[in-house]
A and B are shown apart, each in its own frame.
Chain A
Amino acid sequence: MDFLERQKPMFTKQELDIISNSTVLIAGVGGLGTHQALELQRVGVNKIYLIDSDKIEMSNLNRQVLYGQEDIGKFKAPTAKESLDKFALGTEVTAIIEEISAETEIPEDVDLVLDALDNFASRYQLESLAAEYNLPLIHGGIDSWYGQVTTIVPDETPSLQEIVGGKKEDNEVIPAFSPVVSVIASLQVIEGLKIILGRENNLKNKLLLIDLNDYSINEIEL
């Protein structure tokens, strides 16, 4: 029996082939990134690249679900790879210890980029890289009970900077809570799969704003 048996009825044979041959780059292996990586592995993608230059800190452990106490001080990307590899589900995981910058090279087999960063300055950098490589970027962000998700595709959608406004952020510590992070990360994975499958009902030119405190969901046409 194949571990993907229960999801097979949801997709066509061709779609299952696309998923099992897809390669996803996760930029940032913090709260959003660790949840996304777990989901993508369960979905059975071919390969995941994890990029992050940070080391694990105690305050990360409330939401960064691939790390434990004994991992404090280790680099996030290779530690996340180690946790994922233990499940042995067939997805190849490559860890890259690097900060996203204009010099970052996106490997040529990448089909999709997931934003799992924690500040807008780095996100604008990531979106220009994704545009340079002509790759779809699934943006997600969180703050306490709230989250937002949209898809950025060069020449098809407005840029993140246009959507958000592009002002300089203050450097406040953002409250973050694993169940909220998990919802937003899952939505990004669902959206990313729809984009690589070419399905409609996606978030191109739509911004989804989610409030898990009062359970309101707002969609804005962009």
Chain B
Amino acid sequence: MKVTVKLFATLKELMPEGQNQMTVEVEDEATVDDLALQLDIPEEKDLIVKVNGRHGSRNTVLEAGDRVGIFPPVGGG
């Protein structure tokens, strides 16, 4: 199934150049964690996840057509 993905802030460099969103083919019942792995986002990184505008997590199970935004939490001050 296909989902639409946007990566933000420091993760943006993992997006294809010149694009601000991408369509990604994932397995049925894939989680955000599976998607992150597919996108080469390090496993040990905390992520803030938005699925169809709502707060999700690495464990959120995706459905076809979902819009997924992934943000790295920023901790400097």
Contact = CB atoms under 8 A, between A and B. Distances in A.
Interface of A: 28, 30-33, 115-120, 123, 140-148, 163-170, 174-176, 181, 207, 209, 211, 216, 218, 220-222
B77 A28 contact: yes
Interface in B13-49: 44-48
Given A207-B55, A209-B48, A221-B55, A146 B75 contact: no
A207 B44 CA distance: 22
The 10 closest A-B pairs by CB, nearest first: A174-B76, A165-B46, A143-B74, A118-B77, A146-B9, A32-B77, A164-B73, A141-B74, A167-B46, A142-B76
Contacts of A144: 10
Given A165-B46, A167-B45, A209-B48, A143 B76 contact: yes
A207 B54 contact: no
Prevailing SS type, chain A contact patch: mixed
Contact of A146 (B10, B53, B57): B10
B25 to A, nearest CB: 25
Contacts of B10: 143-144, 146
Given A207-B55, A221-B55, A141 B76 contact: yes
Given A146-B8, A174-B76, 16 more contacts: A28-B77, A30-B77, A31-B76, A140-B77, A141-B74, A142-B77, A146-B10, A148-B48, A148-B73, A163-B48, A165-B47, A167-B46, A169-B46, A174-B74, A181-B77, A220-B50
A165 B57 contact: yes
A30 B76 CA distance: 10
A142 B75 CA distance: 6
Contacts of B54: 220-221
B71 A218 contact: yes
Given A144-B10, A146-B10, A211-B9, A174 B46 contact: no
Contacts of A142: 74, 76-77
Contacts of B48: 148, 163-165, 207, 209, 220
Given A164-B46, A207-B48, A220 B55 contact: yes
B77 A209 contact: no
Nearest to B6: A218
A141 B76 CA distance: 5
B77 A33 contact: yes
Contact of A31 (B47, B53, B58, B77): B77
Contacts of A28: 77
A43 to B, nearest CB: 20
A123 B75 contact: yes
